[in-house]
Chains A and B, each alone.
Chain A
Amino acid sequence: MSEIILFMVFAPILGVLLSLLFSPIAKQLTKWVALLSILVAAAAASTLAVFSLSDSWAPVTLGFKDYIKMAGIPSPTLQLTADSLGVFMACVASILGFLIAFFSVEYMEGDKHETKYWIFLQLFVFGMDLLVLASDLILLFVGWEIVGLCSFALIAHYFYKDGEDGRKAGLAGIKAFVFTHLADLGLLFGIILLFNQVGSVDFKTISSSTLPENNLTLVSTALFISAIGKSALYPFTPWLSSPRHVDVDAMQGPTTVSALIHAATMVKAGVYLVSRVYLLLPITSDTVVWTVILVPSITAVLTAFSALAAIDVKRILAYSTVSQLSYMFMALALAIAETGEHSLQAFLSAQFHLVSHAIFKSLLFLTAGYLIHLYHSRDITELSGTASWNRDPIAFFGIVFGCLSLAGIFPFIGFFSKESIITVSAEISGNFALVVFWSAITTAFVTALYCSKLIYYLVFSDSEERGELHSYPAMRVVIAVLSFLVLVGGLFQMILPSFFSEYGDTTLHIDWVESLVILVLLLLTMWVGLIIYDSEILYSTISGNPLVRVFAEMSRQGFYLEAIWKGLWLAALKFAKRVRYIHTGDLNITMFLVALMSLVMTSVIIGGL
């Protein structure tokens, strides 16, 4: 059975090699190779997932080799392990990856650099599979870096375009690479520290060994920083979504890439890392738990407001991704803070929201991509009425089902996953849970508001005359499949506990009374939202209020994170320029500087003793 893991990892990488081989001979072949390789990976992942439901399931390990031999320290190995969490993540990545790839067949048709797109798409799935199946931190880091590299290449996909668009795409790729690498420092640092302390980077050895308290704090903080960098939580949000006037962010890539990054791969890697840390390290320090709770709680609320203020459909979805990711982080934080049944329940609800978000967010992004592809615009005001029932039933289903699920309305999958997080946080007593509960509730209402905004503009708003609809069968099939999944996905609630039974027995449940109250309030909010957006008088009165105006402006600016980072970067550049002025190349000045530096050094050394 262990050979199945090999399919998951080697099918995509084989696909990459084959695509490279075919690209000069038969360009058309590359996309089919890519589809096939990702399909094989998805099939292998689902097979393992089915196996893992049975009682006799035990994690499968496949060994590679000794890596570093040193005195007195056991040598780390490079191994792949398929445990429940890994298989689960691999399933999400490769199945959704396949749907997105299928969608791309039409979406990317005739693109100038189509081959490059397909190669990096496969490499992306490969990196993600490697990342989640790695059984030691070094291999995980490799997958982590490959995912980062691919996101760089895919976000910058349109760099060949002329003028502003190409420039922005290139910059956006570099921005994503730099921001995530900044956070990767944490991962590298954590790995080295763990290796130093435990003498191994292997997950099994790490989980069975005990670390001193202060080192544990250091390691977990370092790993958490790298996770929020990958997941674009505050303060690393700008690479994923930036204010409108800057417009250099991951949204510059093709919309399918946005779907892939947001739904299936890149940002979910951060959630995976924290889940893994939860399984490996017994974190007890209050400081760490507070950090892990406060960062996502604040992020969830603020990014939801940013989404409310934005009018670019991709930007709304990007902000909402960060906001929804924060839900998972909050649930995981509760899992870390608690012990026993509640802990596992919180962990499960995080995983549930992960898969639910993956489904409805890819639905939303792909529908948005479909609309953008048809009408060549990203602003919801310009796309008004394009998803109305009369015009385009498929787009209608995509937008309405996606938005209702995102807002957490029964019977869509988002309702179940969001309510299970809220239920867990309500059942747990203490300050941690209180913060999570109120942050989750607030975010849910703001989410309902921007969902009603999306629905209003795209579905109900008056449509101008538009030409005939171009038919895109593959795109429509994918949207239909995802819409169906969103509708029935709530059933996952039944399977997930037995899927994760490897880590202990628990159930996912929803407090129905509380949920119904919230549901009614959410529906009310959406209804009020629709009324406000529909009536010009109400809308202008509310948006004319000075307090609302100031707050809306702040939200639109992404709460000035972009400006802060830019200021830091400019300061660094200024410093470098200052230093460069001394490098004149003139021999006399150089000799003088050497003498001066020698004097300074002497005094420093003598002062240092």
Chain B
Amino acid sequence: MTFENTLSAFLPVYILVGGIVLLLLSDVFVKKRGVSFGLTVVTLFSAILGVYAYDGALPGDGNFFFGIFYRNFATLTLFASIFVAFLIYHDFSDDMLSWDLGVVYTLMLLANAGGLLVASATNLIPLYIGFELMAIPNYGMVAYKSKERNASEAAMKIFILGALATSLTVFGLSLLYGATGSLQFNTVVASIVSDVTALKLLASFMLVAGVSFKLGLVPFHWWISDVYAGAPVSIVSFMAATTKVIGFTFAFQLFLKAIPNWSDQWVFAFTVLTILTMIIGNALGVLQRRVMRIMAYSSIAQAGYIAVTFVNYALVSDSNDKSFALAAGFIQLIAVVLLKISALSVVLIVVKSYGSDDLSNFRGLFTSNPIVGLSFMFALMGLMGVPLLGGLGFLGKFLIVLAAIEANTAISWTLAIVLITGSVISIFYYMRIINEVMVKEDAPEKPLKTSVLVNFVLIVLTLTNLGLMFMGEVIPFYKLF
């Protein structure tokens, strides 16, 4: 493990840390919002480039692996954060805290460093440390507008429940260590100290519960709607995009790389959880009137669709099929990132202009601002999974169902049918929003306050979503992992 190797392998992390230092310095000496914003975006961009600086494992070390899995997930994480940085800039613009922008960005970059660790680790300790490095700044970001009652309530909830989830995860990891006597993935996969089913079951269950908490799978989803409704919108977009990607990276690493041998123990748990998530998450969305809460339940449901990947992956034996199952989940994850950020940036614009996210504030969006209205409709259609018009959102769901049918077992057939049913239920609440967006009458009088940056984000995300639908042309899916 030479110095050069380490340097180029961890280059993106170093870039992020360097960016953090610069940000803090500029916060003290320059104190300009634009500078903080520019620094953050440049840091994230160069970190993306840095991800491609090294390939393979470090010589003589089994704790990290910088392969295609790492590159895909790390790029997606950083990419999502760039757009979130735009939204944060728009969100934290007109209150007392606006000059503190550097601190929020610092927290965000820290979380990204955690994400890079999660994506590259092949050892449970750095995996877990990376995960916590993502989670703790997240609590701080939610609590950022501490003067607002809702925000601090949301922060309290996410903190306490997050701590509970962490304790479950750590407990599960320690049981895992007890059962295998190892922390490295390749030895965890191979070695068995104690083959007691009860121990394996307990460890798997603790891990599943802890992970489901972070991903928001039913019945561990209680915090999501409250936190989404309370936290600042841009921070919610961070949680719906970056945090979700890192959470899934962690879960994929843990279940698909570290303990695939225990799939007998965790497949059934994930089956039950995903079915509950897809049905209940969508059913609850129907009853909401606040768009943020609808977004929260749609987020839950989307996590459920992606979580079908765990089952798909475990139930196929062929390695090509396995990588296809993972690729399907990854594609849907990209779709969720693109669509959720663009939907939430519209919500952000509306909340900034009219002060609340009530459904009636979305009236006439289509006519009052066609760019915003149109990209909002595309985002919602993507979340619905409308073919072609929905872009990647359709392709992702299509591939997940295809992977489930490829597995060809009773469980995966059930999941495929539930997934399709769930997405039909979701039409109800997305259509309600679209209906309001199209209506002209009784639209709010005040003009919409939007900014060039957010419009830019909206246009880029919408076009990317539609363009990536044809990615099958460029990147064959079986080569994605």
- A binding-site residues for B, Cβ under 8 Å: 65-72, 75, 138, 141-142, 145, 149, 159-160, 170, 174, 177-178, 181-182, 185, 188-189, 192-193, 195-196, 572-573, 575-577, 579-580, 583, 585, 587, 590-591, 593-594, 597-598, 600-602, 604-606, 608-609
Contact = CB atoms under 8 A, between A and B. Distances in A.
Contact of B424 (A65, A185, A587, A593): A185
Contact of B280 (A160, A579, A609): A579
Given A576-B283, A605-B268, 12 more contacts: A66-B473, A67-B472, A160-B441, A170-B435, A577-B287, A583-B222, A585-B225, A587-B156, A600-B219, A604-B269, A608-B268, A609-B268
B364 to A, nearest CB: 12
Categorize the interface residue count of chain B.
Answer: 35 or more
Contacts of A594: 161, 164, 219-220, 222
B440 A160 contact: yes
Q: Which of A188, A591, A602 has the most CB of B within 10 A?
A: A188
Interface of B: 156-157, 160-161, 164, 197, 201, 204-205, 208-209, 219-220, 222-223, 225-226, 264-265, 268-269, 272-273, 280, 283-284, 286-287, 320, 324, 386-389, 395, 398-399, 401-402, 405-406, 416-417, 420-421, 424, 427-428, 431, 435, 439-441, 470, 472-473, 476-478
B226 A585 contact: yes
B406 A196 contact: yes
B192 to A, nearest CB: 18
10 contacts: A69-B476, A69-B477, A72-B320, A142-B388, A160-B441, A178-B427, A577-B287, A590-B223, A594-B220, A604-B272
Contact of A587 (B157, B209, B265, B389): B157
A11 B398 CA distance: 30
Given A70-B477, A142-B388, A594-B161, A576 B286 contact: yes
Contact of B209 (A75, A193, A572, A601): A601
* Chain B interface SS verdict (over half): helix
Contacts of B265: 605, 609
Nearest to A193: B405
A539 B424 CA distance: 47
A188 B401 CA distance: 10
A572 B283 CA distance: 8
A609 B197 contact: yes
B18 to A, nearest CB: 39
Given A178-B427, A594-B222, A608-B268, A71 B284 contact: no
Given A66-B472, A69-B472, A576 B287 contact: yes
B439 A71 contact: no
Nearest to A146: B389
Given A196-B405, A576-B287, A608-B268, A65 B470 contact: yes
B384 to A, nearest CB: 9
Nearest to B156: A587
Contact of B201 (A577, A591, A605): A605
Contacts of B435: 170, 174
A600 B219 CA distance: 10
Given A145-B389, A195-B402, A608-B268, A182 B201 contact: no
B305 to A, nearest CB: 14
Contacts of B284: 576, 579-580, 583
A67 B427 contact: no
Contacts of B205: 601-602, 605
Nearest to B286: A576
A174 B286 CA distance: 14
A65 B470 CA distance: 9
A587 B157 CA distance: 7
**Residue from the set B156, B161, B265, B424 with the largest chain A CB neighbour count within 10 Å:** B424
Given A185-B424, A590-B223, A601-B272, A67 B473 contact: yes
Contacts of B286: 573, 576
Contacts of A587: 156-157, 160
B406 to A, nearest CB: 7
A196 B402 contact: yes
Given A66-B473, A185-B420, A189-B420, A145 B283 contact: no
Contacts of B441: 160
A601 B406 CA distance: 28
A587 B476 CA distance: 46
Nearest to A185: B420
